[in-house]
């Protein structure tokens, strides 16, 4: 770690995303707060000054700083990947081939593939092994410009293995200079041993997993997969209500495969509702008037080879706060690349490059309750910065399948 302040100068564009309000809605998503010939000064992990190179160079600390010339680069807040499932052991290559041959999501699950096939790997692994896999994904994410991520459990699906998964997240977080927010997703699917009696599994989630998670402070959020083949709206409400009773915050996987009524979920003030491919028009005004973010995960649609993508335009144009995330997981979205997500958001959901960057930074930070420290480059916030080889921010979503992220700083530390 360098004790000296660090000064980044002459950036072709520096994207501050500084303007209020947070989260951004509608046309507010277009304003990236671009500074040409931008500079940023950081010290002790925090941003000290942001402006043009002339302005920032006048700061007293600038004279003592280690200097990086950022000509031909775009600087922006590190991406906030607000939806990932990194606690697993093996890729799901059989599912991959089956899907290519024409099998559907539910058909693969029926055949014993899908989420259930990741359970064995997690149950048999040690916490250290799992942490090593999580850490590997964190390093990959940082290489693509991500400095903050949410990480869910959800492939253990027993009290012991869900707690072990959360401990693995915590262990990996201690070895990574970026920021991790942990989520208990014990209610991901009903594991095979409870297949005939899903209510007893919901009892286990509510009476043991959530209390234990809260007691040991292993997660900030509780998530539930509210979907046909996973958990019913009534079961989901019970999980969310129990989470709130234990002082945990909530988020929900919903409307991925089928429509669901959002009103009953919004009562729990979830930080985000995620996927939202099948959101009903009637639910959009209520969502737009809430503090809940719609987190869209188009890399999953891409990987599943779907024609349908989440309705970003309908949501944004009606005032819903939208975030973008990878949904990194072994079954439906094996990617750690936020730039790839930006590309798919632009090409398949018709988001503008500026909207996509806003969704992947400040709105993602808001979806994790971290808007006070992450998601924009302003004085006093954490020095989480991504540097891309590009003259223009639109290039971030334009080049795809290649990595133009040159460097990140994670709380002032070089990634
Ligand atoms: Zn997910």
Q: pLDDT of 318-332, one tens digit each?
A: 999 999 999 999 999
Alpha carbon of 276 to ligand 1 centroid (Å): 11
Alpha carbon of 282 to ligand 1 centroid (Å): 24
Mean pLDDT of 1-7: 80
Per-residue pLDDT at 183 exceeds 80: yes
Report which of 265, 211, 199, 200 is spatially closest to residue 242, judged by C-alpha positions: 211
Average pLDDT, the chain: 96
Report which of 146, 131, 74 is spatially closest to residue 410, judged by C-alpha positions: 146
Alpha carbon of 250 to ligand 1 centroid (Å): 14
The answer to whether 75 and 332 are in contact (CB under 8 A) is no
Nearest 5°: the CA angle 15, 83, 189 is: 170
Given pLDDT bands bounded at 50, 70 and 90, which one contains residue 94?
Answer: confident
32, two tokens: 């990236």
Given pLDDT bands bounded at 50, 70 and 90, which one contains residue 138?
Answer: very high
The Cα 173–Cα 180 span in angstroms is 6
The answer to whether 15 and 360 are in contact (CB under 8 A) is no
Alpha carbon of 329 to ligand 1 centroid (Å): 7
Alpha carbon of 129 to ligand 1 centroid (Å): 22
Alpha carbon of 269 to ligand 1 centroid (Å): 19
Query: What is the DSSP secondary structure assignment for residue 194, as one 8-state letter?
Result: G
The answer to whether 274 and 240 are in contact (CB under 8 A) is no
pLDDT score of 250: 98
The Cα 39–Cα 53 span in angstroms is 5
Over residues 231-286, the pLDDT tens digits come to: 999 999 999 999 999 999 999 999 999 999 999 999 999 999 999 999 999 999 99
Alpha carbon of 83 to ligand 1 centroid (Å): 6
Q: Phi then psi for 301, rounded to 5 degrees?
A: -60, -40
Q: What percent of the chain has pLDDT over 70?
A: 100
The answer to whether 390 and 396 are in contact (CB under 8 A) is yes
The Cα 54–Cα 37 span in angstroms is 9
Over residues 11-44, the pLDDT tens digits come to: 999 999 987 899 999 999 999 999 999 999 999 9
249, two tokens: 């915050």
Q: What percent of the chain has pLDDT over 90?
A: 93
Alpha carbon of 334 to ligand 1 centroid (Å): 11
Query: What is the DSSP secondary structure assignment for residue 122, as one 8-state letter?
Result: H
Alpha carbon of 224 to ligand 1 centroid (Å): 10
Three-state DSSP class for residue 53: helix
Q: Residue 291 CB: number of other CB atoms within 10 A?
A: 11
More confident residue, 2 or 377: 377
- Name the pairing type of β-strands 272-275 and 146-152: unpaired
Q: What pTM was computed for the model?
A: 0.97
The C-alpha torsion from 396 through 251 and 33 to 378, rounded to 10°, is -110
Alpha carbon of 185 to ligand 1 centroid (Å): 9
pLDDT score of 1: 47
Given pLDDT bands bounded at 50, 70 and 90, which one contains residue 370?
Answer: very high
Alpha carbon of 253 to ligand 1 centroid (Å): 6
Alpha carbon of 412 to ligand 1 centroid (Å): 30
pLDDT score of 159: 98
Query: What is the DSSP secondary structure assignment for residue 18, as one 8-state letter?
Result: -
DSSP string spanning 232-292? -HHHHHHHHHHHHHTT-EEEEEESSSS---SHHHHTT--SEEEE-TT--GGGHHHHHTSS-
pLDDT score of 38: 98
Alpha carbon of 28 to ligand 1 centroid (Å): 27
Three-state DSSP class for residue 298: helix
* End-to-end Cα spacing for the chain: 11
Mean pLDDT of 212-241: 97
């Amino acid at each position: 770690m360098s004790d000296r302040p660090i000064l980044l100068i002459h950036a072709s564009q520096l994207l501050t995303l500084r303007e209020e309000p947070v989260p951004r809605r509608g046309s507010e998503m277009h304003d990236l707060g671009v500074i040409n010939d931008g500079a940023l000064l950081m010290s002790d992990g925090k941003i000290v000054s942001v402006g043009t190179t002339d302005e920032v160079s006048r700061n007293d600390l600038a004279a003592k700083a280690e200097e990086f010339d950022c000509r031909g680069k775009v600087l922006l807040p590190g991406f906030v990947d607000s939806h990932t499932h990194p606690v697993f052991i093996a890729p799901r290559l059989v599912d991959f081939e089956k899907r290519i041959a024409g099998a559907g999501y539910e058909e693969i699950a029926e055949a014993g593939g899908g989420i259930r096939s990741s359970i064995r790997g997690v149950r048999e692994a040690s916490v250290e092994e799992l942490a090593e896999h999580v850490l590997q994904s964190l390093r990959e994410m940082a290489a693509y410009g991500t400095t903050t991520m949410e990480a869910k459990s959800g492939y253990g699906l027993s009290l012991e293995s869900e707690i072990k998964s959360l401990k693995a997240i915590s262990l990996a977080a201690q070895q990574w200079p970026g920021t991790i927010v942990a989520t208990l997703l014990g209610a991901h699917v009903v594991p095979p041993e409870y297949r005939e009696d899903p209510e007893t599994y919901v009892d286990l989630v509510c009476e043991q997993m959530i209390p234990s998670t809260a007691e040991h402070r292993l997660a900030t959020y509780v998530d539930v997969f509210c979907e046909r083949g996973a958990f019913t709206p009534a079961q989901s409400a019970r999980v969310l209500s129990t989470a709130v009773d234990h002082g945990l915050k909530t988020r929900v996987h919903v409307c991925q495969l089928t429509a669901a009524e959002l009103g009953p979920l919004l009562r729990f003030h979830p930080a985000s509702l995620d996927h939202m491919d099948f959101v009903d028009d009637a639910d959009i005004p209520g969502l737009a008037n809430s503090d809940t973010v719609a987190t869209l995960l188009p890399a999953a649609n891409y990987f599943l080879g779907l024609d349908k993508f989440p309705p970003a335009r309908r949501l944004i144009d009606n005032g819903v706060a939208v975030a973008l995330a990878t949904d990194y997981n072994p079954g439906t979205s094996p990617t750690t690349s936020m730039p790839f997500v930006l590309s798919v958001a632009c090409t398949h959901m018709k988001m503008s490059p500026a909207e996509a960057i806003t969704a992947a930074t400040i709105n993602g930070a808001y979806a994790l309750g971290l808007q006070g420290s992450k998601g924009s480059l302003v004085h006093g916030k954490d020095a989480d910065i991504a540097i891309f080889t590009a003259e223009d921010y639109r290039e971030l979503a334009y080049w795809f399948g290649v990595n133009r992220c040159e460097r990140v700083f994670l709380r002032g530390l070089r990634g």
